[in-house]
Chains A and B, each alone.
Chain A
Amino acid sequence: MLKFRVIPCLDVKDGRVVKGVNFVDLRDAGDPVESAVAYDAAGADELCFLDITASHENRGTILDVVQRTAEACFMPLTVGGGVRTIDDIRNLLLAGADKVSIMTAAVHNRGFVKDAAEKFGSQCIVVAIDAKQTAPGKWEIFTHGGRNPTGLDAVQYAREVVALGAGEILLTSMDRDGTKSGFDVALTRSIADAVAVPLIASGGVGTLDHLVEGIRDGHATAVLAASIFHFGEYTIRDAKRHMAAAGLPMRMD
């Protein structure tokens, strides 16, 4: 039976982890590779790097991080942030990423999703959606960390990118992100039920019950969280045990 997935996400800037992992004794808490190895050992089902490097000159630093991670971790790795061209995707995949997440470039040019899926296969193209509620039962896509509205309806957009070849949706509620008040379950379910591909729920996790809600009520097939894991509030294993106890099939290898 296929298991639900728990995915820790690390923000990486100029090749260094922002808000570093501090649940284990790391020699260098800013080294993404050390954090990746720790999560691998802790039983994470996948790992996500979000590259938030601002300057163009340092954009290549993520490739080195991905390459070193692939040498040390034998688990699936998704990399997102600033992915704009087919070459960006190719470079990340060649460095050892398994999936590449695209966001703003897909909003501005839907054809990019189609080109990417045709070139590399849907299985490695994740479309990241940042959405905010604008009316009851209505959510709009935002870019630039929730600052820029796009006028696009989130559910409609999700259907569109999946039709173009996206193999997975990474959905973040910008209303909940950083609040620790739980996923926007209604948003998650609206999109999960609208598309035939797997959906990763993100934004708002503060407790282990929130992870259960994302899957049981939000119909996500994977849950992504950052701070509850990085600061050692809960281990990955705590999370998976809690989800298994709630009746969700989890990998406990």
Chain B
Amino acid sequence: MSVAIVNYGSGNLHSATKAFERAARSSDYSGDIVVSADPDFVRTAERIVLPGVGAFADCRRGLDAVPGMIEALTDAVRRRGAPFLGICVGMQLLASRGLEHEITAGLDWIAGDVAPIEPADTSLKIPHMGWNTLAPRQSHPLLAGIPTGEHGLHAYFVHSFHLKPTLADEIAATTDYGGDIVAMVSKDNVAGTQFHPEKSQRLGLALIANFLGWRP
């Protein structure tokens, strides 16, 4: 039993791994947390995490550069139904297309585009950087037991682009930054957070613990 954190040259691997190790200890998850660039390992892992920071097109190129990785992810997540969590650009990659700098194909697991944040209030700074609260759109197992809403816990965001799902029921939670920004998407065994659970202290560790016990 293991969690594969997919290594394709993205920056936040170390912190993500440490946060998963911490959450695994606190939630008595008995599997291993393994950083892996090996498609064969990812294909058979119990759970899969796709981190990602930087630009959409760079991350897509990084993923393409690991031979067989996209096929392995598709087999494990789409065919076998392994629980999957995408983080930040790892979440954005679920979209049909990224529009950052150039038009880039995403995995197309969540229909929609990744577009620039354009807050109605133009005095708001971009990137959307810092701590914000979550407004759940559905009762999702990954948010179980986590105080949300305006007076709930905060999640750490840092992004200039956001995923705009075509289907409203694939939005699990939003956050407010001059309008609704999608904070979390979900579809069956696939979930993704725009925020960084590995940097979100209590909220983040609780969400990761929920992911480790998730049986979609």
Complex CA distance for A141 and B73, rounded to whole angstroms: 49
Contact A198 B125 (CB under 8 A): yes
B1-15: CB near A (< 8 Å → 1, else 0) gives 000000000011111
A residues 189-204 in Cβ contact with B at 8 Å: 196-199
Contact B156 A76 (CB under 8 A): yes
On whether A253 and B153 interact (CB within 8 A), knowing A2-B177, A222-B130, the answer reads yes
* A140 part of interface (Cβ distance < 8 Å): no
B190-213: CB near A (< 8 Å → 1, else 0) gives 000000101111111100000000
B residues 6-35 in Cβ contact with A at 8 Å: 11-15, 18-19, 22
* A29 part of interface (Cβ distance < 8 Å): no
Separation in Å of the A101 CB from the closest CB of chain B? 14
A residues 46-82 in Cβ contact with B at 8 Å: 67, 70-71, 74-76
Q: Which residues of B contact A231 (CB under 8 A)?
A: none
Separation in Å of the B88 CB from the closest CB of chain A? 9
* A95 part of interface (Cβ distance < 8 Å): yes
Q: Which residues of A contact B133 (CB under 8 A)?
A: 1
Q: Which residues of B contact A167 (CB under 8 A)?
A: 127, 129, 158, 160
Contact A76 B158 (CB under 8 A): yes
Q: Select one of B128, B200, B204 contacting A2, CB under 8 A.
A: B128
On whether A3 and B14 interact (CB within 8 A), knowing A123-B53, A123-B158, A123-B159, the answer reads no
Q: Which residues of A contact B200 (CB under 8 A)?
A: 74
Q: Which residues of A contact B53 (CB under 8 A)?
A: 93, 120-121, 123-124
Complex CA distance for A94 and B51, rounded to whole angstroms: 13
Q: Which residues of A contact B160 (CB under 8 A)?
A: 122-123, 167
Residue of B nearest to A89 (CB): B11
Separation in Å of the A66 CB from the closest CB of chain B? 9
Q: How large is the interface on B (under 10, 10 to 19, 20 to 34, 35 or more residues)?
A: 35 or more
On whether A3 and B132 interact (CB within 8 A), knowing A95-B14, A253-B153, the answer reads yes
Contact B154 A98 (CB under 8 A): no
Residue of A nearest to B203 (CB): A253
Q: Which residues of B contact A40 (CB under 8 A)?
A: 201
* B67 part of interface (Cβ distance < 8 Å): no
Complex CA distance for A119 and B57, rounded to whole angstroms: 11
Residue of A nearest to B208 (CB): A74
Complex CA distance for A157 and B36, rounded to whole angstroms: 42
* A5 part of interface (Cβ distance < 8 Å): yes
Residue of A nearest to B152 (CB): A253
Separation in Å of the B187 CB from the closest CB of chain A? 26
* B103 part of interface (Cβ distance < 8 Å): no
On whether A253 and B201 interact (CB within 8 A), knowing A1-B150, A96-B18, the answer reads yes
* A251 part of interface (Cβ distance < 8 Å): yes
Contact A120 B199 (CB under 8 A): no
* B144 part of interface (Cβ distance < 8 Å): no
Q: Which residues of B contact A67 (CB under 8 A)?
A: 14
Q: Which residues of B contact A199 (CB under 8 A)?
A: 125
Q: Which residues of A contact B55 (CB under 8 A)?
A: 118, 121
* B126 part of interface (Cβ distance < 8 Å): yes
* B176 part of interface (Cβ distance < 8 Å): yes
A-binding residues in B (CB < 8 A) = 11-15, 18-19, 22, 53-55, 58, 124-133, 150, 153-154, 156-160, 176-177, 196, 198-205
> Which 4 interchain pairs have the tightest Cβ spacing?
A121-B54, A93-B11, A96-B14, A251-B131
